[in-house]
Amino acid sequence: MFSKSCEYGMRAVIYVAKQTSLGNKTSVKEIASATNSPEAFTGKILQKLTKNNIIDSIKGPYGGFLIYEEKTKTIKLSQIVEIIDGDKIYTGCGLGLKECNAKNPCPIHDKFIDIRSSLKSMLETTTVYDLLKSETGEDKILQLKR
């Protein structure tokens, strides 16, 4: 569904948010290890997310990454996906035609846009904050490694 880069990115943001909520800044090394992602590559992705103002970073000793809780309420999964994977998943044709166009639909258009819309809507209505909150109770673990 998503590229590896995007998966690493989403896992990283969730982990950073969790750590910030616990009062910790966290390093590339720690993020990569906690999310089971390659370290240097994760660094590149964090760079991109920082440039795009999803997370914040602080250089130097006692530095690291963080994202304030208030901000987690405004960051939607759709933003992370779009920054890393672009908007193909929201606008692209299921058969890979250059443009998806209801006026000139491909054979799977009607069925495909239902799915595509649900996905878009799910990503747009899910904030990082939502993911930190347990849905079933207080102690659901944030599972990011396996």
Partner DNA sequence: CTTATAAAAGATATTTTTATCTTTTATAAG
Partner DNA sequence: CTTATAAAAGATAAAAATATCTTTTATAAG
- CB of 37: closest distance to a copy of itself in angstroms? 9
Choose between 5 and 50: whose C-beta lies nearer to ligand FES. Answer: 5
Structure tokens at 28: 């590339």
Where do the DSSP E strands lie in 17-143?
56-58, 64-66
How many Å apart are CA 132 and CA 26, to the nearest integer? 17
SS3 56: strand
Number of residues that bind DNA (CB under 7 A): 28
Question: What is the distance of C-alpha 20 from the center of its chain?
Answer: 16
User: Between helices 39-51 and 28-35, what is the axis angle to 10°?
Assistant: 110
What residues contact residue 36 under an 8 Å CB cut-off, 6+ apart? 11, 144, 145, 146
Within residues 36-95, the interface with a copy of itself by CB under 8 A covers 36, 77, 89, 92-95
Q: Are strands 56-58 and 64-66 parallel, antiparallel or unpaired?
A: antiparallel
Stretch that binds ligand FES, among 34-42, 43-51, 90-98, 120-128 (CB under 6 A): 90-98
- 23, 60, 61, 107: which one contacts a copy of itself (CB under 8 A)? 107
Instruction: Measure the CA–CA gap between 144 and 118, rounded to whole angstroms.
Output: 24
Contact call for residue 87 and DNA (CB under 7 A): no
* 39 vs 114 by CB, closer to DNA: 39
Q: Among 24, 52, 53, 63, which residue interacts with DNA (rule: CB under 7 A)?
A: 63
Q: Which residues contribute to the site for a copy of itself (CB under 8 A)?
A: 1-2, 4, 7-8, 10-11, 14, 36, 77, 89, 92-99, 101, 104-108, 110-112, 114-116, 118-119, 122, 126, 131-132, 135, 142-146
